[in-house]
Amino acid sequence: MRLSLDFVDRSFSLTNSKYRLSIQVSLSGFSFCVYDTDSQKHVVVRSYSYTKNTEDYNLWHEELYDIAKQMPALNSDTSVRCLYLTRKNVFVPDAVFDETRLKDYLSFSFALEELDEIHRIRIPEISAYNCFAIPSMVVSEIKRRFRSAVFINQTCNVLQLTKKKYYETKMNIMLCEYFTDITIFKNNMFVFNNTFETTNVKDILYFVSALKDKFDARQIPIYVSGKISLSELKELKNYFPEIMQEHDKKTMMILGPDISSKYYNMLRLHECE
């Protein structure tokens, strides 16, 4: 493992019981942050890059085990949420949802691994369940340290964060290492979400343009978060000047705009219900 970001505020204390821990796991890295509910700021932000092959689950497991050992031994009643970034997620309306068919919902569109666990979260605002796959080793390593951890994926995260703003008209773009997650809201309603395989900024431009035409959304603002370079952002702005980066404002003041936007969804995860 390689420590790529390490911020610890001098106020951080292992005895503080008013912390919330947010974890972000993907094939491209492992990150976590600690939020102090009293001071309303992040007191720890750390990110690790893997040094072993994440396509080999045994090697990845070793890497996750080593990283988990580096996490702070927080109070046992600390609220813990783990954000797993994955293309393997679908929405199933309440009317047809069947708890016994979770694997079927995902295997129809995705090739599942033998060790994938299927999780689901109900989103009452849209009367549907968000079902997603997460490797069992990720669950076991997090649960080994934090038994009360709740698991969530990036799509559900965007919906839960945005509902605090009453689903205002906008397009959300979350950029990950191997895919892009796009969600559209119009007139206080959720209207679309999908996760697209993308390899460069041209792929992103194609999907954004096609979706804006399909949903008559040429004039709505676009908010982008996740892994994006300044050159990629500039290219997107050449075609869509209304694009804005999402930022966690307090973190931006301390660690800068790049960090606050790249880890935006993890930094705001403590707000999810």
Query: How many domains would you assign to the chain?
Result: 1
Mean pLDDT of 64-84: 87
Q: Label residue 165 by pLDDT band (50, 70, 90).
A: low
Query: Residue 196 pLDDT > 70, yes or no?
Result: yes
Parent domain of 112: 2-271
Q: Label residue 161 by pLDDT band (50, 70, 90).
A: low
Residue 269 — left, alpha, or beta (φ > 0 → left; ψ -120 to 50 → alpha)? alpha
**What's residue 227's pLDDT?**
87
Q: Label residue 68 by pLDDT band (50, 70, 90).
A: confident
Mean pLDDT of 92-106: 94
Q: Label residue 5 by pLDDT band (50, 70, 90).
A: very high
Sheet holding 29-36, edge to edge: 2-8, 41-49, 29-36, 19-26, 79-84, 150-153
What average pLDDT does the chain have?
A: 88
Mean pLDDT of 149-157: 87
For 201-243, give the DSSP string.
Answer: HHHHHHHHHHHHHHTT-TTS-EEEEES--HHHHHHHHHH-TTE
**β 79-84/19-26 pair status:** parallel
Residue type, 170: K
Here the CATH number for the domain that contains residue 156 is 3.30.420.250
Q: Label residue 213 by pLDDT band (50, 70, 90).
A: very high
Q: Label residue 202 by pLDDT band (50, 70, 90).
A: very high
